[in-house]
Structure 1
Amino acid sequence: MTTVTLDALDLSALLCSRVCHDVISPVGAIVNGLEVLEDEDSAEMRDFALDLIRKSARQASARLQFARIAFGAAGSAGASIDLADAENVARGMFGDEKTQLTWSAPRALFPKNKVKLLLNLVVIAVTAIPRGGVIDVAVTGEGDAPLFVLTAKGAYARIPPHVEALIAGTPESGTVDAHAIQPFYAGLVARAAEMGVRFSIQGDTVTIRAEAAADAAEPDVQPDPDGDDNAI
């Protein structure tokens, strides 16, 4: 397959579209709540509007803080990001009634691109369980050679369509749009971090494993004959 490359303008435009898509819903809800406050005299409706504004403002803030690290130049003054900050933004973004997030990682500074990859893999793990469930994030090893293992368990779990080709930079369509930019970008970050990504599925559990590219090239387990195990 042909590897797809994007110039800087196209990449930045598509990432901006992705971030705007994530925040437009809560920002729109804030606007709706303000309109209700302006037009309604009912105390009940005004309380409803204030509650909507509070919840939507928290959601918009959480999504922007997540995007700042996962897609942006957070901590650009240095080359490392605290894993505790990554946990906080991941919980703010995805910790809700639909999805339960568990996190096991050392409290340490890790290279920026490795942390960005971890957060992008969390996004992919969420899409692997469209009806919600439990996502477990485990980080082991040192910052220069970590191992990330994310397991997503829930009803109708599946490896998201086309995600493996997009991470590899070889989408079947030969193009990348705003919908596909996140896994494509995850692949760019993985290569920059010199890490390989592997997906597998067994029953209602999808596992995403990321480690040093040389280690990922040679799996240490046999593929499950009832599942799917592929390296990127």
Structure 2
Amino acid sequence: MSGPSSPGPAPDTLELAALLCSRVCHDLISPVGAIVNGLEVLDDNPKPDDREFALDLIRKSARTASARLQFCRLAFGAAGSAGAQIDVGDAQTMARGHLEDDKTRIAWNLPREFLPKNKVKLLLNMMVIAQQTIPRGGVLTVDPVGTGEAGGFRVAATGLNVRMPQAIADLLSSGPTGSVDAHAVQPYYTRLLAQACGLNVVLAAEGDAVVVTAS
């Protein structure tokens, strides 16, 4: 995503729901497709080596799909009744399952406590944005800003070839929104979550890092 966004109408409720569904489907299509490919290999009565390869692909892809589903359920879905509070420790587990891999590591410095559902959703969405700034991997450092329900979060991304996506920064800002499609809906949704929590969310370069802050 590059270039400044042009002002345009914000999506209505139905369009926002549809765009978020498209985003979730985009996250899941790859591991689910890999599972289907592995099953097709098994259906062809493969050699023992090919069979083991297919089973390994299915196992890994099923774990990936499960981790992404759990993360998306909390980051984008209802995940509890209105006004519910969520254990930040559970959010940490889901974030590690979805965002950590051989290239990306999470340094989690938040205390374990219960926070309002929208605030936890905001945190997870901030981490997704921060991860997008380190396409070759690196470290996501998660810190509190303030304390308790009035506090916010700071997610700093450091890594090789860290990049500052200005279009995402524009979508997060409180100014006019540009065109919001399935690729842009996640940062726009993050902005809405921050507003619902009484916070402002900002994406900015800080030295060798790109930082997402909600305060």
For normalisation by structure 2, the TM-score amounts to 0.91
2:151 counterpart residue number = 146
**CA–CA distance in 1 between the matches of 2:151 and 2:179?**
31
2:126 counterpart residue number = 121
| 1:181 and 2:185 matched | yes
Matched to 1:206, the amino acid is: V
**CA–CA distance in 2 between the matches of 1:210 and 1:197?**
4
The alpha carbon displacement at 1:159 in A equals 2.0
Percent identity among equivalent residues? Answer: 56
Matched to 1:162, the amino acid is: A
Contact 1:15 1:178 in 2 (8 A): yes
Which of the residues 18, 25, 46 maps onto 1:20?
Answer: 25
**CA–CA distance in 1 between the matches of 2:123 and 2:147?**
14
**CA–CA distance in 2 between the matches of 1:170 and 1:181?**
16
**CA–CA distance in 1 between the matches of 2:12 and 2:174?**
14
For structure 2, the residue ranges without an aligned partner over 5 or more in a row are 1-5
Note the 1:101-112 alignment, pairs <5 A. 101-112=106-117
Which of the residues 192, 198, 201 maps onto 2:202?
Answer: 198
2:162 counterpart residue number = 157
| 1:29 and 2:34 matched | yes
Matched to 1:37, the amino acid is: L
**CA–CA distance in 1 between the matches of 2:116 and 2:34?**
36
Matched to 1:197, the amino acid is: V
Note the 1:41-190 alignment, pairs <5 A. 41-76=46-81, 78-139=83-144, 141-168=146-173, 170=175, 174-190=178-194
Matched to 2:171, the amino acid is: L
Instruction: Count how many residue pairs are aligned between Structure 1 and Structure 2.
Output: 210
Structure number with the bigger relative contact order (C-alpha 8 A, sep ≥ 6) is: 2
Please, which moves more after superposition, 193-202 or 122-131?
193-202
Contact 2:134 2:157 in 1 (8 A): yes
**CA–CA distance in 2 between the matches of 1:96 and 1:28?**
20
For normalisation by structure 1, the TM-score amounts to 0.85
Contact 2:91 2:124 in 1 (8 A): yes
Please, which moves more after superposition, 138-147 or 127-136?
138-147
**CA–CA distance in 2 between the matches of 1:201 and 1:140?**
18
Matched to 2:39, the amino acid is: L
Matched to 1:159, the amino acid is: M
| 1:8 and 2:21 matched | no
Contact 1:140 1:146 in 2 (8 A): yes
For structure 1, the residue ranges without an aligned partner over 5 or more in a row are 212-232
Deviations 1:34-79 (A, max 9, x none): 0111113311011000000000000001111111011000022652
2:3 counterpart residue number = none
**CA–CA distance in 1 between the matches of 2:70 and 2:140?**
20
Contact 1:111 1:143 in 2 (8 A): no
